[in-house]
Amino acid sequence: MKKILFLIMAVIAVQLGAQDVAHYKKIVKKLSSAKYQGRGYAEDGANKAGKWIAKEFAKAGADDVVCQPFKLDINTFPGKMEMSIDGKKQIPGVDFTIREFNPSVKGEFKLYYIDMENYNAEKMFADLASPQYQGAFVVCDFMFSYKHGADFKKLQSKKDCSCSGMIYTWEAPLKFYKAYGEKVHEKPVIWVTPDFPKDAKSVKLDMENEFLAGYECFNVIAKVEGNRHDSCYVFTAHYDHLGKLGKKTYYPGAHDNASGTAAIITFAAHYAQNKPEYDMYFIAFSGEDANLRGSEWYANHPTVPLNRIKYLFNLDMIGDNNPVQYCEVSNEGMPGYSLFEKINAEKGYFKAFDRGKLADNSDHYPFATRNVPCVFFMNEKGDAYKYYHTVHDTWKNAIFTTYEPMFNLIKDFIGKY
């Protein structure tokens, strides 16, 4: 009879575990779907996703769910996004992408290729001032432009150069960013793959930007009450992503960061069903891809005093298959990091930890600079990471290998810290 009871309990345990993974996958699939158009700011994609996340926290059993509003200025591209080279149409997000600060641009322009082997800045500016190349687009390798930054800064100024914009070749798959989209620059910058022709004559463009000033976003904050209220644990993940590149192209963001958002929702469900010792907060941030706007706002307007946080876990791109787990840790979080290492040595959740230098690359940073004990987990260099910030970060390419070990690692940590 005892054996039968044990088998029944084992089956139930397996089913519950499978249910958690199924819930996790369901959330990733939903957030990366076309319904939310890349969870950006055009067409209110991020806010629509945030409202759905708030409902998911409530369904998970959170005791309290609130939305914390904040505003940002952001450049978006929901309209036309067309480019052709000598009449050959290019595909947005695949053949080309643009910089987040680009203005609208329309017309057909000559192409001026920089001689990178025999570079002469004086000759380049003279050529671009001549009638032959008046208003041309400048073409060269992106790293070359970076190396000669002072010259290219002048190229991007209407006062210093009459060229109409820049086209830079960059490695494929092409990435898109939003961090510097809080203002619009004078000239457009377009990134293309190394397959861009070396001798094309002209580029035809019809690209539209829409600048949103004072756009209202919100952080979603859920709470699961514990037995003690003097301290708390905080789980964070950003739910916003890159949004749209034209009318038809969007960035799904399955790995970045539907994976982390899904994880903190399943953590909320776990602790709602298993009352914790301390209060638990789960914060889904918006504005991360716009330069950590949501987490910075929260750190300046916390709903719980920052000095009450026992430990903060920031989960960003945690669903992949690299057995080595990348992390960053605040100075105050180092004693806790030693416990993470000890638990991992005992349980073997990951082959190793790769601890990097603390950087402003995700939502842990505003807390780390305010002396909060925190850790940032990101599974990089796996098979999903290669699609980071590209149109290929889809549900189809999503990987879920590291979700369960990450979940169990943090759960074990809370039980012992």
Structural domains in the chain, CATH included, are 24-71+217-416 (3.40.630.10), 81-207 (3.50.30)
Place of tokens 């070749």: 169
Q: Please give the pLDDT value at position 12.
A: 37
H or E, element range at 263: helix 259-273
Query: What is the percentage of the chain residues whose pLDDT exceeds 70?
Result: 95
CB 25 within 8 A of CB 258: no
Q: What is the mean pLDDT of residues 262-287?
A: 98
3-class DSSP state for residue 2? helix
Beta bridge partners of residue 376, listed in sequence order = 314, 328
H or E, element range at 35: none
> Given CA atoms 34, 35, 37, 40 in this order, what sign does their dihedral have?
negative
Average per-residue pLDDT for the chain: 94
pLDDT per position as a tens digit, 21-53:
999 999 999 999 999 999 999 999 999 999 999
Please state, in angstroms and rounded to a whole number, the distance separating the CA atoms of residues 259 and 318. 6
Please state, in angstroms and rounded to a whole number, the distance separating the CA atoms of residues 41 and 287. 9
Confidence of residue 272 (pLDDT cuts 50, 70, 90): very high
Query: What is the percentage of the chain residues whose pLDDT exceeds 90?
Result: 94
Confidence of residue 9 (pLDDT cuts 50, 70, 90): very low
Q: Please give the pLDDT value at position 335.
A: 97
Q: Please give the pLDDT value at position 10.
A: 37
Contacts of 112 (CB under 8 A, 6+ apart): 127, 128, 133, 136, 137, 138, 139, 163
Q: What is the mean pLDDT of residues 148-165?
A: 95
Q: Please give the pLDDT value at position 215.
A: 97
Q: What is the DSSP string of 202-222?
A: EEEEEE--EEEEEEEEEEEEE
Q: Please give the pLDDT value at position 20.
A: 86
pLDDT per position as a tens digit, 360-376:
999 999 999 999 999 99
Q: Please give the pLDDT value at position 6.
A: 34
Beta bridge partners of residue 232, listed in sequence order = 279, 309
Confidence of residue 14 (pLDDT cuts 50, 70, 90): very low
pLDDT greater than 60 at residue 124: yes
Q: What is the mean pLDDT of residues 75-99?
A: 98
Q: Please give the pLDDT value at position 400.
A: 96
pLDDT per position as a tens digit, 203-262:
999 999 999 999 999 999 999 999 999 999 999 999 999 999 999 999 999 999 999 999
Please name which of 240, 243, 213, 235 lies closest in space to residue 79, comparing C-alpha atoms: 243
Confidence of residue 1 (pLDDT cuts 50, 70, 90): very low
pLDDT greater than 90 at residue 197: yes
Please state, in angstroms and rounded to a whole number, the distance separating the CA atoms of residues 23 and 17. 10
Q: Please provide the size of the chain in residues.
A: 417
CB 190 within 8 A of CB 244: no
